[in-house]
């Protein structure tokens, strides 16, 4: 049996806003196997974004444990979490989050600078990634010179710049039309099937979620239903 690459054990996240306490996560438990494609669904306010922050080492829980490849990261410092994020996790965001003053190539090389990868290797790796997402002829274009779908493909390439084991996609098709969203999903499926990446995707779209091996439904800060499971 494959060990979990990520395991959340009874995770709570409580935000204090003045005198009010907001329980964003209420005992969330979740296991993710290496090479699995997991989709997380749920209504607005269900805790999806907070859950993504936990899985992506962007935040720590109020209580409970988060294990990444068996390592307890629940109470690590931000500097240690940043190192783990840089090496282990690639992020794809709904808003693309590309730096507008940088070219597509420069956006992809940027995460590698924080891992002390040599300049020549950074450029070669970025070129290969852009070719992989069919944007080899757009390397010197800035985000404003690219369509939404092209920007998202640059974001996918950027997420792979440090060859992470886990790709975290937060509403990756949310700002795209259905045709362009389908192209983006094809790339994510290729990453899963051909590259063996572990994909964790948050989505509102049931059609998008069908790409996953497993769909978990989040409500009121905890998993309430497994919508689909393939074996």
Q: In order of start, what are the domains of the chain with their CATH numbers?
A: 36-61+76-229 (3.40.50.300)
Tokens at 55, concatenated: 């899985």
In DSSP terms, 16 is beta-bridged to 21
More confident site: 199 or 76: 199
CA-CA-CA-CA dihedral for 172, 201, 165, 107, to nearest 10? 20
Question: Does residue 231 surpass a pLDDT of 60?
Answer: no
H helical segments located in 58-169: 78-88, 104-113, 119-132, 148-159
CB 90 within 8 A of CB 187: no
Specify the DSSP element, H or E, that contains 59: none
Q: What is the per-residue pLDDT across 94-143, written as a single tens digit (0 to 9) for each?
A: 888 999 999 999 999 999 998 889 999 999 999 999 999 999 999 999 99
Q: Please state, in angstroms and rounded to a whole number, the distance separating the CA atoms of residues 25 and 14.
A: 7
- Top mean pLDDT of 1-15, 68-82, 148-162 is at 148-162
> Rounded to a whole number, what is the distance in angstroms from the first to the last CA of the chain?
13
pLDDT band at 58 (very low <50, low <70, confident <90, very high): confident
Q: Please state the pTM of the whole predicted model.
A: 0.87
Q: Is the pLDDT of residue 66 over 60?
A: yes
CA angle at 87 for the pair 28 and 195, rounded to the nearest 5°: 85
Q: Which run of H or E residues covers position 179?
A: helix 178-193
With bands split at pLDDT 50, 70 and 90, how would you rate the model's confidence at 227?
A: low
Sorted by sequence, the CB contacts under 8 Å of residue 7 that are 6+ apart come out as 30, 31, 32, 65, 66, 67
Q: What is the pLDDT of residue 228?
A: 56
Measured CA to CA, the distance from residue 72 to residue 123 in angstroms comes to 34
* Rounded mean pLDDT, 57-69: 91
Count the alpha carbons within 13 Å of 133 in the hemisphere toward its beta carbon: 32
Residues whose CB is less than 8 angstroms from the CB of residue 90 and which lie 6 or more positions away in sequence, other chains included? 158, 159, 160, 161, 162, 164, 166, 167, 168
Where helices occur in 6-116 by DSSP H, the ranges are 48-55, 78-88, 104-113
Give the span between the Cα atoms of 149 and 189, in whole angstroms: 16
For the chain, give the percent of residues with pLDDT over 70.
97
Average of per-residue pLDDT across 144-148: 95
């Amino acid at each position: 049996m494959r060990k979990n690459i990520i395991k959340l054990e009874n995770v709570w996240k409580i935000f204090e806003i003045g005198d009010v306490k907001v329980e964003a996560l209420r005992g969330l438990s979740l296991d993710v196997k290496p090479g699995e494609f997991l989709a997380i669904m749920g209504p607005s306010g269900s805790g999806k974004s907070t859950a993504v922050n936990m899985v992506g080492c962007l935040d720590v829980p109020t209580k409970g444990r988060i294990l990444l490849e068996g390592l307890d990261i629940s109470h690590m410092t931000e500097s240690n979490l940043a190192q783990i994020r840089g090496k282990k996790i690639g992020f794809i965001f709904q808003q693309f989050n590309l730096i507008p003053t940088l070219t597509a190539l420069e956006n992809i090389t940027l995460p590698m600078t924080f891992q002390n990868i040599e300049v020549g290797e950074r450029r070669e790796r970025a070129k290969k990634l852009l070719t992989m997402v069919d944007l080899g002829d757009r390397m010197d274009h800035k985000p404003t010179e690219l369509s939404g779908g092209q920007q998202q493909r640059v974001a996918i390439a950027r997420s792979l710049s440090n060859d992470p084991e886990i790709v975290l996609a937060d509403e990756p098709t949310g700002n795209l039309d259905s045709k362009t969203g389908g192209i983006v999903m094809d790339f994510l499926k290729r990453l899963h099937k051909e590259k063996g990446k572990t994909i964790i995707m948050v989505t509102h779209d049931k059609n998008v979620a069908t790409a996953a091996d497993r769909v978990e439904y989040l409500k009121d800060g905890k998993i309430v239903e497994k919508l689909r499971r393939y074996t």
